[in-house]
Amino acid sequence: MLGAPGTAAADPSPARARLVKLNEQADQVVERYNQATEAHKKAKKAYDTLNAELGRRSARADGLRRDLAALAARDYRLGSFPAWSGLTGRSDPEAVLGSMASLDQIAQAEAAKVHAFEVATKDLRDRRDQARSVLRKADAARDKVRGEKAKADKLVDQQTKLLRRLGIYNKGNPSSPGIPYTGAASGNAREALEFAFAQVGKPYQYGGTGPGSFDCSGLVQAAWRVAGVKLPRTTWSQWSWGAARRVPLDDVEPGDLLFSKGLGHMGMYAGDGKMVHAPQTGDVIKVVDLDDYWRGRLAGAVRP
């Protein structure tokens, strides 16, 4: 149990107060960057899927076109349907199909091929339109990613300079062996926490999903993936995913996801009033006490 929220103690240092503000701003911008990145990935994947299907449909239509041409050539040689000779040279499939509709002598098998060609052609047009629409969305998402990344980079630069000035910049060790988890969690929650504790000492990196660095939601996603639970990528999407799984802060158990107010940051409850998380630029994955500072800034908890 976390107990009742407290009030953060005031920090007399203007530089440290500035750092807190920068960290809060960076959390929000990084989260928007992660959201935009995921949106672009999904849009690009959808486009690639449609584009591949379009290629397969194009191959099918080409095959049907060849079949029709072969039928036309055969019937022309046999003199069965003189009208074929006027259709085979036309480039517009719809015009060809419209003209062929008037040929009531077409055999049933040939008519079936024509119908299949018509269906394939219409399907191609529809899928092409869908692919173009998805591509436009992917491009818009990519532009948004670029904008958010520029903002995040600027804030990271400010954070780094201030941390160095304060003498507390920690670049971390991407090969850190971490620390053992010795808490009371069991089952897949224990698996998730053991993974998270094994990352302690590795650097925070916005957009990081491992193995050498993580951001806050990237660490939680990776930890629970090892435990067999597929979480969304970002803090906001994990909070939404857990809408039916939320638990009161007084009832949290080891492995539960803890979210800050504003949903710019998150971590995992480790038990005994502690949280494991990837904090912010210039810091490393660590286990912290949920003292008054964090208790007053938690929005809620989710149990995977």
63 band by pLDDT with thresholds 50, 70 and 90: confident
Residue type, 47: Y
Matching CATH number, 15-166, of 1.10.645.10, 1.20.1250.20, 1.10.287.2610, 3.40.718.10: 1.10.287.2610
Fold of 170-302: endopeptidase fold (from Nostoc punctiforme) (3.90.1720)
Res 121: pLDDT: 72
- Are the C-beta atoms of residues 172 and 183 closer than 8 Å to each other? no
Instruction: Report the alpha-carbon distance of residue 12 to residue 115 in Å, rounded.
Output: 79
pLDDT tens for 70-116 read 766 766 665 554 444 455 555 555 555 555 544 444 556 666 776 77
Average pLDDT over residues 181-204: 97
Mean pLDDT over 115-129 rounds to: 77
* Residue whose token pair is 């003292």: 291
Any idea which of 122-126, 158-162, 185-189 has the lowest mean pLDDT? 122-126
| Residues contacting residue 34 through CB under 8 Å, at least 6 positions apart | 206, 207, 215, 217, 233, 234, 235
pLDDT tens track for 260-281:
999 999 999 999 999 999 999 9
Contact indicator for 214, 194 with CB cutoff of 8 Å = no
Residues of the chain with CATH 3.90.1720.10: 170-302
SS3 288: strand
Delimit the CATH 1.10.287.2610 region(s) of the chain: 15-166
Cα–Cα dist 20/8, whole Å:
12
* pLDDT, position 79: 55
Specify whether the backbone of 201 is left (phi greater than 0), alpha (psi in -120 to 50) or beta: left
**pLDDT band, residue 223 (cuts 50/70/90):** very high
Are 27 and 139 a contacting pair, CB within 8 Å? no
| Residue whose C-alpha is closest to residue 257's, from 70, 249, 137 | 249
Lowest mean pLDDT among 162-176, 200-214, 290-304: 290-304
Token pair belonging to 96: 């060809």
pLDDT at residue number 137: 86
Which long-range contacts link 178-182 to residues 24+ away (Cβ below 8 Å)? 178/202, 179/287, 181/270
